[in-house]
Amino acid sequence: MFTCLYRLGDTNIQIEIIAATIPEKKLFLRKSFVMTPIVSIIMGSTSDLPVLEKAAQFFDEMAIPFEMNALSAHRTPQEVEQFAREAQGRGIKVIIAAAGMAAALPGVIAANTTLPVIGVPVKGMLDGLDAMLSIIQMPPGIPVATVGVNGALNAAILAAEMLALSDEQIAAKVANYKENLKNKITKANAELKEIKYQFKTN
Ligand code: RP5
């Protein structure tokens, strides 16, 4: 087995080439890609996963390696602290932390790292207002960049924009993604054009 390490921008990609024989005694090669995550998505519970899926899909679309784990500020406080203290050393560049209700998770992570932390309030009780206020109202010195309730997609886009500052490939992909947002409005205008009213002039 041969292992090659490549660096694409800030991303480490490990390629393992495994040689093996098959019954007909022919040689074949199998490649497996082991990617080092540069974004960490942390959720307070797997019940938050449906909200975080939009972030995961976005990172897939952008080919940005990420990891996803569940950790709870209240149920596993020691593990949260350990995660936050070790994240930078593992190559993580930005953390997305999502939680509902009392939602201490993003703040506790931010208290234990200098990496940027993006908080996603998850709608549970009180339409998510409880989680949003809990995440956004951090004391001076420990910021958490908070997106809207269930705003996982915006959290992922913001994370990509942070990564884009030092990675031209990601910057190009984010620019392309934003350019494509125009298509939705162009299509909407074409549809509106077909709607007729007596006094509608366009
Ligand atoms: C929070 O409590 C989690 O982030 C989740 O949004 C909420 C409920 O958690 P479960 O009871 O579903 O595990 O900590």
Distance 123 CA to ligand 1 centre (A): 10
What kind and span of H or E run contains 154?
helix 152-164
Nearest-CA residue for ligand 1 atom 7 is 100
Nearest-CA residue for ligand 1 atom 12 is 47
Residues in the chain: 202
Model pLDDT, residue 34: 77
Give the percent of the chain with pLDDT over 90: 81
Dist. CA 28–CA 16, nearest whole Å: 13
Give the pTM: 0.84
pLDDT tens track for 128-182 = 999 999 999 999 999 999 999 999 999 999 999 999 999 999 999 999 999 999 9
Q: Which atom of ligand 1 is nearest to the CA of 44?
A: 4
pLDDT tens track for 69-91 = 999 999 999 999 999 999 999 99
Dist. CA 120–CA 198, nearest whole Å: 45
More confident residue, 88 or 5: 88
- Judged by phi (left if over 0) then psi (alpha if -120 to 50, else beta), residue 101 lies in left
* Contact (Cβ atoms closer than 8 angstroms) between residue 104 and residue 75: no
What kind and span of H or E run contains 94?
strand 94-100
